[in-house]
Chain A
């Protein structure tokens, strides 16, 4: 009885705080891997989840999708394959699958007809998530890198006339499907940051009249302020252990980096310089990367999470800001001439690449495996999201018909 009541209350709370959004993001593919540059893979048309797998692999910039019509045969799991016809299709690998309650699938190498992997995704309330989980398995098997398709993103949508907009904080699957509005306000909302367990979001809201950092639980909708309500505080970033939130706090327009307890309070000052220190990110449990204009133009600096002014770490380009870190990958906004674009640097090899193509690209958010970067851009004068693979080969635009979308954050792995 008691349990039932609690369940009902939780459900009611869930309904209150999870208003469905009418318009999902529309995906437009703007660039793909050339067949001779990526792994050529053919996904048998075994249903909706096969389409999700195709879309995910394509987005990674590592796979060239071969049209299943070119297989020259029906492709059914458990049935013998005509290897010669498959080789003619150009595919190196074939994915065969069967959707029942669970999703069973296998990867076959076309060269020798050998099965290189056989998988089962157990039944899940979200069939789309099952497709993403399958794509994660295929990605890991063929690249050696953990897949990050079964993840979520958070972003901000703004709609309405100039000076009179409505702001929404939205959480969706990594491909923009299943959007849920978790905050709707007439005051600006910005800078979402995921907790490491992906159950809470930190973000900035102006609802009290000035920018304050809040933490909101996604399941219950319950929220609390974690920054001093009397000081403007921006750009929260959750620490890898979930205990702390780095942020940038103003003293008369002079912003410095601070670290607060994720439960609120315990504010510690990390930097103390003239100018703007903002956009902290955790490179690891003890190192913060942030943007500072102390040298004149915004550049990236790093410092100990224990405190310290930090040392400059970005040297190419007159303007580098808005770092996003995942493993060895570092994404940033870089100004090239008049254009702001997203650059991705591999910290292990030192290799850097500009991966975006717009002129006002910003707010990069790396997937937890570092292979894709989600960012904000402009498409036909409308604020849109875009995803680029870290190798710069795959490009997709995610735009909303309801308004501008921007300020994305990519969740950690979900489980």
Chain B
């Protein structure tokens, strides 16, 4: 019963995503089929392993089937991870987040009509205005990285929110660490 519900909701996500991809009349027709398969099994390319871990992300061809937008709602998929964190006053991407960005880059590469907002944030230290700029810089450092990994710059929009939308309140490193972040937001988020 539960599995059925999950399968249906995933299938619906896939249908929505399919509609999205078709709008632009892109060459990703093959991916739709692959995506449908992936979501109905409730599994993702990542957990299947083969595509992602053997360097498959050098092959962005549609129909690769590595990821599809339905995976965004699958907690088992790496695509459900949409937030990466930064060091104080830094905008360089830390190695532990490379896999997450690689996965989202692959998804965007396979679905050229999919768009994301890269929302940068900062902790409260430093002036509010400087933090808007710093957080935007973080967003662009994610954009630049994802572009190298196959996403198109036209698919990504960057907004720097500075320290204005904290994920956690508090004046300590525990809160600050959660606030120095870039959130990858897909349509409807």
Contacts and interface: CB of A to CB of B under 8 A. Distances in A.
Interface stretch (B6-14, B31-39, B104-112, B135-143): B135-143
Interface stretch (B20-28, B58-66, B159-167): B159-167
Contacts of A24: none
Interface in A316-337: 319, 321-322, 333
Contacts of B140: 252-253
B126 A298 contact: yes
Contacts, number: 97
A364 to B, nearest CB: 10
A13 B12 CA distance: 47
B132 A211 contact: yes
Interface residues of B, number: 28
Contact of B126 (A209, A210, A321): A321
A381 B166 CA distance: 14
A6 to B, nearest CB: 39
A158 B171 CA distance: 16
A378 interface: yes
A162 B167 contact: yes
Interface in B139-180: 139-140, 158-162, 164-171
Contacts of A276: 130, 133-134, 137
Given A232-B136, A298-B130, A378 B167 contact: no
Interface residues of A, number: 40
A279 B167 contact: no
Contact of B164 (A188, A291, A340): A188
A2 to B, nearest CB: 45
Given A209-B159, A210-B159, A276-B133, A163 B167 contact: yes
B129 A278 contact: yes
A259 to B, nearest CB: 16
B115 interface: no
A255 interface: yes
Contact of B129 (A158, A322, A406): A322
Contacts of B162: 188, 190
Contacts of A298: 126-127, 130
A166 B126 CA distance: 22
Given A253-B158, A362-B127, A407-B128, 20 more contacts: A162-B166, A163-B165, A163-B166, A167-B164, A190-B162, A190-B164, A232-B159, A234-B133, A250-B160, A253-B133, A253-B136, A253-B137, A253-B140, A291-B129, A322-B129, A340-B126, A362-B128, A363-B127, A363-B128, A381-B171
Q: Which 5 A-B pairs have the closest CB atoms?
A: A188-B164, A253-B137, A276-B133, A253-B136, A253-B140
